[in-house]
Amino acid sequence: MSLMEYKGYLASIQYHEGDDTFIGHVINTQRDRFVFHGDSPKELRKHFKELIDFYLEDKEHVERPYSGRVTYRIDPAFHADLARAASLSGKHSINAFMTEILSKSVASVLEKRT
């Protein structure tokens, strides 16, 4: 899977041989779903930019890309175990520990899907 980025929005790109066309899906919005097409990579990029620019014109309904912040509630005892595990693994914070573990897990899942 190839990715395309414009103004903070990411799109996954696929080529459909039967239709001889490229299809893009904006992947980093939580609520809104966008699909765009092009007969060439150049045309696909043009349509992606037009789509995002048009979307951003409607400020009232715009959903921004993910912020990078995740709120996750856990049991206090597990929180203590998580802090201890982070420390034992040599990480300077729970955030660094979780980012490393989640990155590996996410990469594994995404590799299976491509």
By C-alpha distance, which of 8, 11, 49, 38 is closest to 27? 11
What's the pLDDT score for residue 58? 75
Q: Which residues pair with 15 in a beta bridge?
A: 22
> CA dist 80 to 1, 85, 87, 106, Å?
39, 9, 11, 24
Give pLDDT tens digits along the chain (114 positions): 688 999 988 999 999 998 899 999 998 887 778 899 999 999 999 999 999 998 888 766 666 666 777 888 899 899 999 999 999 999 888 888 998 999 989 888 888 775
pLDDT of residue 80: 92
Find tokens 């992606």 and name the residue. Answer: 48
Q: Provide the pairing of β-strand 35-38 with 2-6.
A: unpaired
Contacts of 3 (CB under 8 A, 6+ apart): 10, 11, 12, 13
Question: How many CB atoms are closer than 10 A to CB 11?
Answer: 23
The total of other beta-carbon atoms located within 10 Å of residue 32's CB is 10
